[in-house]
Structure 1
Amino acid sequence: MASTSEPAGASADSGISGASDASGISGASGTYEPAAPVLEVRDLAKHYPLTRGVLVKRRTGAVRAVDTVSFALGRGETLGIVGESGCGKSTVARLLVSLERPTAGTIHYRGEDITRLSGRALRAVRRNIQMVFQDPYTSLNPRMTVGDIVGEPFEIHPEAAPKGDRRRAVQELLEVVGLSPEHINRYPHQFSGGQRQRIGIARGLALRPEVIVADEPVSALDVSVRAQVVNLMESLRDEFGLSYVFIAHDLSVVRHISDRIAVMYLGRIAETGTGPEIYGHPTHPYTQALLSAVPVPDPEPREGRERILLAGDVPSPANPPSGCRFRTRCWKARERCAVETPTLTVPPDLPGPAAHPSACHFAEERAVVEAPP
């Protein structure tokens, strides 16, 4: 059956732009702490064991997918996480929704450590922390109708909607995300990619969660559809008071929707700050290299732009470099970088917007020609 076209009215310039006013302070460690955090992550780590042998397996090492990651998420705030493939972004997402157990560290939701919860206690927390998956083609069961997919959370949490009202609740959710309530009896293959992602968002909204973890929700979509989905998520954040952890490769998408941004490299956060701080005043060499690769449509500033080309390949997370993990590709690397691990803290000698947390011994501001937001 032919795919249904995108709903009318969901234009690329629709939706609500602008960041929430979640303010923050610098703690003793120099890291940004949003006011009234709803989610706090402290020293989170996830190591996957490497084994050898068939009958008798011996542990020979571990893949350090996530290693000592810390951040806080405020109410109504969007935290964007960016980085190269394999840096641990999706692993952080799975840990936040308890799809995997951390090797070390804690995740506090409203002051409660959820990393040790199980059974009914974990189910209650999961109602408030939902996830939107990356691929809208594989995250929806092709044998279930849209009504069954969006209404499935009500089967797990029957207290969220009385049984007689579930059909109406599903239709209201479809309408909220820009789909017709009449689509309730259709199957996923009858929708386009953007519409399937809207179905996934509706499923995430079903239980009225407080936090939504979006793991690259637009990377599998056409460029023309990405803006529609991002603007939809932005308007839903303001309408329902949601807090987002938004993971993406596209730096322009993250800049548009995020209040704060965390740049990850090889399992750790390299730099974090607000959008103007990261995009206008980057201090970590890795962030500067990422921004130098963003296409600039205006030919005049593009000609005077310096492209930063990193040497070598990304090291294996099974055998990360000692000290600073970025040192093997960094043009500023010194002997200190090999023996001392830099902490994510505000550099003492940088003024103004450049004074934000950066995990570099030699952090300094570098002029970067910005792409338009």
Structure 2
Amino acid sequence: MPGPEGGPAPATSGRRSCMASTPSTPSAPPVPSAPSAADPAPPVLEVRDLAKLYPLTRGALVKRQTGAVRAVDTVSFDLRRGETLGVVGESGCGKSTLARLLVGLERPTAGSIRYRGEDIARLSGRALRAVHRNIQMVFQDPYTSLNPRMTVGDIVGEPYEIHPEAAPKGDRRRAVQELLDVVGLNPEHINRYPHQFSGGQRQRIGIARGLALRPEVIVADEPVSALDVSVQAQVVNLLERLQDEFGLAYVFIAHDLSVVRHISDRVAVMYLGRFAETGTGPEIYDHPTHPYTQALLSAVPVPDPEAREGRTRILLPGDVPSPADPPTGCRFRTRCWRAEARCAAEAPALAVPTALTGGAAHPSACHFAEERAAV
């Protein structure tokens, strides 16, 4: 595949074996997985019962809280070095709020985010700034995430103004040029402005900015959704190459299930602020057990006409409920064809169903989890 203007084509790398993480339940905090001989490294990032509520108020002079929007509600996962966790779901399910919480742009209402054992939510000042250096973000829109009045050199080098210890002042221009070269751009274009680059090149500039401080974790919030399909492949291949080169851990947020399957070691399906199902790529895509996951996969376009004829499209009734007033019990029950009285009275735990074996035996938040071939 040809590379972008002024840069070489990124190499394609295969996915590595997935790493286990501990599922969470709404009723009790999960137990962190113990290191084993096959997976000796502890998690770089540990998220436990993370929640973010935005208060709803009423009144002109005296504001009274009348409710809250549950954007993220009791989300838990582990992320290890070199691993990619893909987060998928409909618009408004809380994916971007989760991203902002992980990088510290929002303060959680409850729960913890531990980086190397330190709870980010309880840090402040220098300690918090030191942690933020190791968790960076790549934004969704390559057009609005870059300041049009700043040159590429100023944009990529801006993190050095906040963390001067990362690059001495005299070496910053050389460091920025090296970063541009790493992401496949011409280092001589350091004095150009964002409007002089294509969409794919602008996203590479955003990736270079995220790499400036040599982080361990990068949160990518739909980094390819605004790009053409061919450019999407180039950016995804670049992210995989950088992960192999620098040992990065990714939280890759997207609504394109095909892209997530290609890049992710583990996948988490999100609905109304909670994880509905988690597992490895083959477990989620080949053995889906949650009705919501099956409905999402049934909507994926299939290029093979014969395969299209042999599958059934799952159409969900109604609209997504408001996160300000989610349904009782299972949040998906108002649109689920398997819903029964138990679903309204009891919230299902994100756990491995005991009745399922093989690839279907992975965490699913459904009382009646059952494997169904969606694609």
Q: TM-score range by the shorter chain?
A: over 0.9
CA distance in 1, matches of 2:191, 2:218: 26
Q: Distance in 2 between matches of 1:179 and 1:83?
A: 32
In structure 2, C-alpha distance between the alignment counterparts of 1:208 and 1:220, rounded to whole Å: 25
Is structure 2 residue 232 aligned with structure 1 residue 229? Answer: no
* Aligned-pair Cα RMSD in Å: 1.7
Which deviations, in whole Å up to 9, do the C-alpha atoms of 1:22-68 show, x marking residues without a partner?
53266797899584210010000000000111111111100000000
Q: 2:300 aligns with which of 287, 294, 300?
A: 294
User: What residue is the counterpart of 1:247 in the other structure?
Assistant: 253
Aligned to 2:206: 200
The answer to whether the Cα contact below 8 Å between 2:74 and 2:274 also exists between their aligned partners in 1 is yes
**What is the identity, as a one-letter code, of the residue corresponding to 1:139?**
S
CA-to-aligned-CA distance 1:186-220 (integer Å, 9 cap, x gap): 00010010000000000000000000000000011
Q: Which moved more, 1:262-271 or 1:47-56?
A: 47-56
Pair 1:32–1:111, CA change in 2 (3 A): closer
Q: 1:32 to 1:359 in 2, by over 3 A?
A: farther
The answer for the alignment partner of 2:273 in structure 1 is 267
Aligned residues: 363
Aligned to 1:123: 129
Name the CA distance, whole Å, in 2 between partners of 1:31 and 1:223: 40
Equivalent residue of 1:249, what SS? Answer: coil
Q: How far apart are the structure 1 equivalents of 2:253 and 2:32?
A: 19
Among 11, 34, 53, the alignment partner of 1:47 is 53
1:286-311 C-alpha deviation (Å, 9 max, x unpaired): 00000000011101111011000001
CA distance in 1, matches of 2:230, 2:337: 37
Query: Is the Cα–Cα contact under 8 Å of residues 288 and 372 in structure 2 kept in the other structure?
Result: yes
- In structure 2, the residue matched to 1:9 is 8
Structure 1 letter corresponding to 2:277: E
Question: Which sits farther off after the overlay, 53-62 or 84-93?
Answer: 53-62
Q: How far 1:367 sits from its partner (Å)?
A: 1.6
Query: Aligned match of 1:178 in 184, 187, 197?
Result: 184
One-letter amino acid matched to 1:291: L
The one-letter amino acid of 1:186's match is R
Equivalent residue runs for 1:28-47 within 5 Å: 33=33, 35=39, 36-47=42-53
Amino acid paired to 1:317 = P
User: Where does residue 138 of structure 2 map in the other structure?
Assistant: 132
> For residues 268-287 of structure 1, what are the structure 2 equivalents within 5 Å?
268-287=274-293
Q: Shift of residue 15 of structure 1?
A: 2.1
Displacement of 1:21: 3.4
Residue 103 of structure 1 aligns with which residue?
109
Change (3 A) 1:104 1:32: closer
Deviations 1:242-295 (CA, angstroms, capped at 9, x unpaired):
000000010000000000000000000000000000000000000000000001
Task: Decide whether the 8 Å contact of 2:21 with 2:78 is kept in 1.
Answer: no
Give identity over the alignment, percent. Answer: 82
- Alignment-derived partner of residue 61 in structure 1: 67
What TM-score results when the alignment is normalised by the length of structure 2?
A: 0.94
Which residue matches 1:317?
323
The answer on whether the counterparts of 2:18 and 2:266 sit within 8 Å (CA) in structure 1 is no
Query: Is 1:21 matched up with 2:17?
Result: yes
CA contact (8 A) 1:80 1:259 kept: yes
Give the letter for the 1:90 counterpart.
S
Q: Structure 1's 349 and 32: CA in aligned 2 closer, same or farther, altered over 3 A?
A: farther
Q: Residue 163 of structure 1: which of 151, 160, 169 is its match?
A: 169
1: CA distance between counterparts of 2:48 and 2:136? 20
Partner in structure 2 of residue 143 of structure 1:
149
**Separation in structure 1 between the aligned mates of residue 369 and residue 164 of structure 2, nearest angstrom:** 52
Q: Judge conservation of contact 2:24–2:350 (CA < 8 Å) in 1.
A: no
Determine helix, strand or coil for the equivalent of 1:59: strand
Query: Helix, strand or coil for the counterpart of 1:37?
Result: coil
The superposition leaves residues 102-140 of structure 1 with CA deviations (integer Å, 9 ceiling, x where unpaired) of: 000000001111111111111000000000000010110
Q: Show structure 1 runs of 5+ residues with no match.
A: none
Distance in 1 separating the partners of 2:283 and 2:196: 43
Contact 1:22–1:76 under 8 Å retained in 2 = no
1:115 partner SS:
helix
Q: 1:296 to 1:302 in 2, by over 3 A?
A: same
> How much has 1:222 moved relative to structure 2?
1.2
User: Are residues 355 and 32 of structure 1, via their aligned partners in 2, closer, same or farther at CA, if it must alter by over 3 Å?
Assistant: farther
